[in-house]
Amino acid sequence: MNKKEDNKKIKEEKNKGGFICCNCGEWVSISDDIGTAHRNHCPYCLSSKHLDKEFSGDRASECGGCMLPIALTFKKEGKDKYGKERKGELMIVSECLNCGKVSINRIAADDEEKAILSLFNNSLKLGEEKVKNLSSQKIDIIKEGDKKDVFIRLFGKGIKKI
């Protein structure tokens, strides 16, 4: 499929109000009402389609492969007054099955918590080589010590309060 056909398909999907996930086959609704008008990943399995090339939203990739979630990271929010890195919102780290491109994507409010927690566990099991590769791309994978911050971002409270 060429770029023109891809853009046409994206417009058709938006007009239909959603798309079919490339991984699990579920229907994924998009709506201005719930803040998912720019959704590009499945809320059930967190997979997405490889559409962007250089930056989020450019829709310039010709790959079109299915991107599977491989880990979680925090959005980089700069440093605090003590020079410590601030942890921002949770982000999904995905890898294209077709070309191997890695990208990060915001978590949506209606994403399945179980899928996110499963991805947290996958983050802890990534091999050393993969973690180094991602780190070289300035993507720092969530570690066991980040569990409290993950729960706070997902549930608004720490682990002990659940």
In this predicted model, what pLDDT tens digit does every residue of 45-82 receive, in sequence order?
A: 999 988 777 777 667 778 888 999 999 999 988 888 88
Distance between CA atoms of residues 76 and 137, nearest Å: 13
Flag whether pLDDT at 134 surpasses 90: yes
Would you state the pLDDT for residue 13?
Answer: 62
- Which position has the higher pLDDT, 16 or 83? 83
Please give the single-letter amino acid code of residue 141: I
More confident residue, 9 or 115: 115
Q: How far apart are alpha carbons 9 and 129 in whole angstroms?
A: 36
Structure confidence at residue 5 (pLDDT): 62
DSSP codes, 43-84: TTT--EE---SSSTT----S---EEEEEEEEEEEEEE-TTSP
Contact assessment for residue 68 and residue 24, using Cβ atoms and an 8 Å cutoff: no
Q: Say if CB 29 and CB 17 are below 8 A apart.
A: yes
Residue 100 CA to residue 23 CA, distance in Å, equals: 16
- Distance in angstroms (rounded) separating the CA atoms of residues 23 and 45: 8
Outline where DSSP puts E strands in 5-160: 18-20, 27-29, 48-49, 66-79, 85-96, 102-106
Task: Specify the DSSP class assigned to residue 157.
Answer: S
